[in-house]
Amino acid sequence: MNLNVTVSKKEEGVFILKLIGSLETDTYLELEKVALPLINSSIKAIILDMKDLDYISSLGLSAIFKIKAALEKNKAVLLITNLKPKIHQVFNLIKALPESLFETMQEADEYLDKFLSDIEKE
């Protein structure tokens, strides 16, 4: 299987990464190769849009955890949206990232707006 990762800039410091295909042993490095260079002192958030992700393995999950950890070091946030039911079930089974999972992009946007507002108050 392949993984295609497309990047779009939502606003300054906020990027949407659309994952298409399969995030697994042979493809997890592709996600890291795209996401990790985006993380710097001006990053605010990365949104993973998983609408077209068909499969995720343990190495795919570890890549997501690695990205989340790098974002947190920069006081930024990882949001994950549009999970297919079987992928959502994987996250639920391992009880991973419940604060980062959103059903729709609209829900993720609402959370992001509050998060960015809170940052500005600091």
Q: What is the DSSP-derived secondary structure letter of residue 101? A: E
Cβ atoms of 9 and 49 closer than 8 Å: no
Confidence at residue 44, expressed as pLDDT on a 0 to 100 scale:
95
Q: β-strands 14-23, 101-102: how paired?
A: unpaired
Q: Is the dihedral of CA 20, 24, 27, 31 positive or negative?
A: positive
3-121: which CATH topology? Answer: Transcription Regulator spoIIAA (3.30.750)
Confidence at residue 122, expressed as pLDDT on a 0 to 100 scale:
64
Give the three-state DSSP class for 6. Answer: strand
Give the Cβ contact number of residue 61 at 10 Å.
Answer: 18
Instruction: Give the start-to-end residue ranges of the domains of the chain.
Output: 3-121
Q: What is the residue whose two structure tokens read 């790098």? A: 70
In terms of Cα–Cα distance, which of 40, 37, 42, 27 is closest to 7?
37
**HSE toward the beta carbon, residue 31, CA cutoff 13 A:** 32
**pLDDT tens sequence for the chain (122 residues):** 799 999 999 999 999 999 999 999 999 999 999 999 999 989 999 999 999 999 999 999 999 999 999 999 999 999 999 999 999 888 888 887 778 889 999 999 999 998 888 877 76
